[in-house]
Amino acid sequence: MASYALRMKQQQTYPDVYQLRIVLRGISPLIWRRLLVRGDTTLAQLHLMLQLSFEWSNEHLHHFHIFGKDYGSDGADMRHITLDAFGFQKGERFRYVSNYYAHWQCDIRLESTLPLDPRRFYPVCTVASGPLHPNISTMLGPIWNFSTSIVIRHGTPYGCWPMPLRLC
């Protein structure tokens, strides 16, 4: 007589949500964004989120520098490396560099880890300060604040500023 274990109802586990503060280095007044992203976000996806949130063109070389290693255009592949694989702790930082000619550098800091709200779309830009793109700051006038949302659905970008930024 064979005995079978009863199937237990598996409780669905959700990844953590990382609250990231992204600051563009060397710019005054300060230009920054706060993003809520899922822990299972890949570095390739985070790259696209940063490009959208700063209104960059996604046509330049780029890389992340995390714990002494580079990931991106001239480093390790970013498509399969998720944020939660690094085991970031609150307050830890890493760097993102885009456009090696202009050398835009972003300091990215994990502000907190939050539980995932399954009713909410991620990623979301919850707070932003400064113009969308440093090159157009003279056209925008004084520094202004805005809040926008970024939604990922099928991986094809679309959107038009100043409408909410979306990856669909």
pTM greater than 0.95 (yes/no): no
Q: What is the CATH number of domain 21-167?
A: 3.10.290.30
pLDDT digits (tens, 9 = 90+) for 108-153: 999 999 999 888 888 988 888 876 554 443 333 333 333 333 333 3
Contacts for 24 with CB less than 8 Å, ≥ 6 apart: 30, 31, 32, 54, 104, 105, 106, 130, 134
Give one DSSP letter per residue of 93-126, joined into a string: EEEEEE-TTTTEEEEEEEEEEE---TTS-S-EEE
Contacts for 105 with CB less than 8 Å, ≥ 6 apart: 24, 25, 26, 95, 96, 97
Give the start-to-end residue ranges of the domains of the chain.
Answer: 21-167
Cα separation, 61 vs 97, in Å, equals 8
